[in-house]
Amino acid sequence: MLDFFNIDSALSEEERAVRDSVRRFVDERVLPIIGDAYVQGRFPRELIPEMGELGVFGANLPEEYGCAGLNNVQYGLIMQELERGDSGVRSFASVQGALAMYPIYAFGSEEQKRRWLPPMARGEVIGCFGLTEPDYGSNPSGMITMAKEQGDGTWLLNGSKMWITNGSTANIAVVWAKTNGDASDRSIRGFIVPTDTAGFKAKDQKGKLSLRASDTSELSFQDVHLPADAILPTSGGLKSPLMCLTQARYGISWGALGAAIACFEEALEYSKTRVMFERPIGGYQIQQVRLADMLTEIVKGQLVSLHLGRLKDAGTFTPQQVSLAKRNNVNIATEIAREARRLLGANGILAEYSAMRHMANLESVYTYEGTHDVHSLILGQAVTGLNAFK
């Protein structure tokens, strides 16, 4: 793989080793099947056990809970490699690790952590994260899903969630709900909801033209009875799910680069072999500008994510820095995928090549985990001190 800026020299041997093992997995197990899975609109579930063995689920969470205990750069490199395969495969791992395991780790009781995290790390228990609702996307604080405490300390959950990755695959859902009739976002708490609980339903979202190799579902909760210990005890307020999103967005900043790398490499190879007007198209200046722009943006993005990972490991990164990285890297990856598709001419629209698949996938990545616009507003507020959300 082209490493134009010798970024490998800024990685430790252990970091390169983790990256290379996931790279091999993607080359050998994901790339041969992903085009077909995408066309069929199927998440390749058969990959889950191997991903568990590789330690990609919750890889940056501690070993004492059965996780790999890796640093955040290693975690980011895993996301990069998975998304070099497909954004759907990376989304599966992001949701499992950053959005289902992380809240249990950060807000769960010791008993919840010991019960759920080891089998989730192995991929034996799948989780999803229910925050978005049909009428509350960028503004989750308006959510209407409600959990009411019953006299005996148990809970009754009612409401619905929309666009939930892994929703129909999951064994447990981490559901965010307002509590006890309090409509303020202070009352938001997280609940672990086993998906076989009576009243819980997951329905797959049909007709997706993006992230087709990923399950996306609508969840509904009708009088779902939950035991007292279903609540994540230290969750409280909207800041709890937002902390999970910060974890996931960090990984996405790396992941999007993986998609961009796949597109760049495909375009580079194609430019050297596709002959038109008796010369490889890579010999024409216009294609070289395209490739130079792609390469430059990938290198810049990698440096942003790598530095962010070091800040995260040092415990000094901010959610606003994560917004910058997610916003920039997904944006440049989307542009790179589009340019790669164009460079490939008619072949660029085939599932046999990856550019169009990545291009379509990245439209979802651009929208989820805070839309590009929402991250613009976060950055705008950070530098001006003025809130432009409302």
Ligand X SMILES: Cc1cc2nc3c(=O)[nH]c(=O)nc-3n(C[C@H](O)[C@H](O)[C@H](O)COP(=O)(O)OP(=O)(O)OC[C@H]3O[C@@H](n4cnc5c(N)ncnc54)[C@H](O)[C@@H]3O)c2cc1C
Determine if 211 is a binding residue for ligand X (CB under 6 A).
yes
Stretch that binds ligand X, among 62-70, 304-312, 342-350, 361-369 (CB under 6 A): 361-369
Answer for which of 95, 126, 213, 268 binds ligand X (CB under 6 A) is: 95
Letters for 152-191 (x = contact with ligand X by CB under 6 A, - = none) are -----------xxx--------------------------
Q: Is 310 exposed, middle or buried (0-12, 13-18, 19+ CB in 10 A)?
A: middle
Cβ–Cβ under 8 Å, residues 331 and 290: no
Q: Which of 81, 266, 297, 369 is catalytic?
A: 369
- Output the six-digit token pair for 182: 């309090």
Which residue minimizes CB distance to ligand X?
137
Q: How far is the CB of 138 from ligand X (least distance, A)?
A: 3
Answer for which of 132, 253, 287, 331 binds ligand X (CB under 6 A) is: 132
83 is annotated as an active-site residue:
no
- Distance, in Å, from the CA atom of 280 to the CA atom of 275, rounded to the nearest integer, reads 4
Answer for which of 55, 108, 130, 251 binds ligand X (CB under 6 A) is: 130
- Distance, in Å, from the CA atom of 251 to the CA atom of 254, rounded to the nearest integer, reads 5
Q: How many CA atoms lie within 13 A of 35 on its CB side?
A: 12
List helix spans (H) across the chain: 13-25, 31-40, 48-54, 72-85, 87-94, 102-107, 110-121, 239-273, 285-314, 319-343, 355-367, 372-384
Q: Residue 157 or residue 211: which is nearer to ligand X going by CB?
A: 211
Determine if 204 is a binding residue for ligand X (CB under 6 A).
no
Answer for which of 243, 374, 379, 382 binds ligand X (CB under 6 A) is: 374
Cβ–Cβ under 8 Å, residues 50 and 29: yes
Q: Which residues are catalytic?
A: 369
Which residues of this chain interact with ligand X, rule CB under 6 A?
95, 129-132, 137-138, 163-165, 211, 216, 364, 367-369, 371, 373-374, 377, 389
